[in-house]
Amino acid sequence: MTSPMIQKDIVSACKIETVKAILDELNGDYFALLVDESFDVSRKEQMAIVFRYIDRMGFVMERLIDIVHVEDTSASSLKEAIFNLLAQHSLSPSSVRGQCYDGASNMQGEINGLKMLIRRESKSAHSIHCFAHQLQLTLVGVSKKCVEVGKLVVLISNIFNVLGSSFKRMDNLRDSQKSTIQVALDMGELTTDRGLNQQLGLSRACDTRWGSHYKSFNNFIIMFGSILEVLESLALDARSMDERAKAMGHLEACQTFEIAFMLHLMRDVLAITNELNKCLQKKEQDIANAMLLVEVAKRRFSLRSRRKLANYTILHHYRVEVFCNIIDWQLQELNDRFDEVTTDLLHGIACLNPINSFSSFDIRKVMRMAELYPDDFDESNMSILENQLASYIVDVRDVDERFSDLNGLCDLSKRLVQTKKHSNYPLVFRLVKLALLLPVATASVERAFSAMKFIKNDLRSQMSDDFFSGCLVPYLEKDVFDKISNDVIIKTFQDMKPRRIQL
């Protein structure tokens, strides 16, 4: 048991059984692919592959199947790695019914991108550009149009780099923040409770990390006094003239009206989309509800139209050229990036949504959606589906009261299985599953990359790819791994190769 080779074999056995349990949940049904790449601590490019599927109870599941090292990140190489993994588990590419990637050209390319290569194998493998990624890019789009936003992002990034480059400066920042909180508590301005008034860190913004800009701006405002205190100290005590000059420049910039105004404006603007960000990261989020949430964000920006502004007492430049423009640009970016709502596919999914007693149901739009899945609905199935839809909507909307309190497609799928109606209307249930298979965001892939930092860190930077994958899959899918008995793992370990002794 102390042998490294034996330990690695046991880890491999744990991974094998975890993946086997996941595939047992899948039960040979359709699934969607969520794929992304990231560098590990040793600068190796790792590709995480997550399956999204509907289990036997009608629940939406997203499970990490494997993380694979890829030397080449071209679309053809990624496709080969994915297809090799599918073949390894006796799965066919024709079973893929959805794809979700970021906006990289090797993923989303319209000619030779990964999504098109997979669609050549499965015409029904419709692709969705990660909603959360698109949402974050709206700020990037606005910052490229508005000089004031760009200046704010650069300034905060530079200040965080200056303060975060030294442990002493970080300690000074924490001490200052602690003192500020203690004074506020003593004066009764803050209350104590579990999870309240915790010390904040420097949250670095990233163009592709969800909600990071909102958190960055919010923390900067809360820690503003402490940040100024450390910058003042640095401007007086820094050893080099270069560091003193930078600190003084940042200190002066922070205390201008423009920066204060832009900080609060962008925090309020991003607060509107931050709630959408949080919702998109839920594993069971369905695309119909996601589009409704996007529409809510658009409506909130529309309510702040320039033609409805009150008489502000600030300068015309900030009222019109900054405030109004940023709101309009943010709304325009949301409209441009979330234009999928116009497609027949998403119109059909919206019609299946059970919210408000199936008020959006439209049999013609649902039938047009079914036509986009030629591998699942041939001519004979289409006529049967139309008849099933007519009976189904009368049943669930007018007859069976158990379907009156549903909040989305996820609830609908579970209720159909609970009431056994999935066997009464199998083609309708198939459509519901296909709608749920379309991923909203690559949240599960991002969770894998977060876990990757715990498994493969600076002290274990040279671990092999197989050992790394063997550790990561059971770690991330703990709920599946916990249900696997030790006897099953021991048997898999024994069967891997001849052993001198039996465990």
Is this structure's pTM higher than 0.85? Answer: no
Model pLDDT for residues 300-323, shown as the tens digit of each residue: 877 655 544 455 555 566 666 777
pLDDT of residue 497: 87
Which residues lie below 8 Å from residue 401, measured CB to CB, with a gap of 6+?
none
Between CA 220 and CA 225 the distance in angstroms is: 9
Phi, psi angle pair for 427, to nearest 5° = -75, -35
Domain with CATH 3.30.420.10 in the chain: 4-130+442-496
User: From the first residue on, what is the mean pLDDT of each consecutive set of 10 residues in the chain (503 residues)?
Assistant: 88 96 94 93 92 93 94 91 94 93 84 90 88 75 78 87 81 81 62 49 51 79 88 84 88 89 86 77 73 80 58 60 78 70 75 91 93 90 94 94 90 95 95 91 87 89 92 95 94 88 74
Q: Looking at the domain that runs over 4-130+442-496, which CATH code has it been given? A: 3.30.420.10
Residue 236 main-chain phi, psi, to 5 deg: -90, -35
Angle at 228 between CA 224 and CA 231, to 5 degrees: 140
pLDDT at res. 196: 45
Q: At what angle do helices 409-418 and 344-352 cross, to 10 degrees?
A: 50
How far apart (Å, rounded) are the C-alpha atoms in residues 232 and 235? Answer: 5
What is the C-alpha end-to-end distance of the chain, expressed in Å? 10
Dihedral angle at the C-alpha atoms of 434, 440, 446, 451, nearest 10 degrees? -50
The CA radius of gyration of the chain, in Å to the nearest whole number, is 26
The pLDDT value recorded for residue 289 is 78
Note the pLDDT tens digit of each residue in 331-372.
777 777 666 544 678 888 889 999 888 999 999 999 999 999
Question: What are 18's two structure tokens?
Answer: 């975890």
Give the whole-angstrom CA distance, residue 117 versus residue 456.
31
Q: Which residues contact 126 (CB under 8 A, 6 or more apart)?
A: 97, 98, 99, 119, 345, 372, 438
Residue-level pLDDT at 341: 43
> Tokens representing 300?
């909130």
Which pLDDT score is estimated for 442? 84
CA dihedral 456, 462, 467, 473 (to 10 degrees): 20
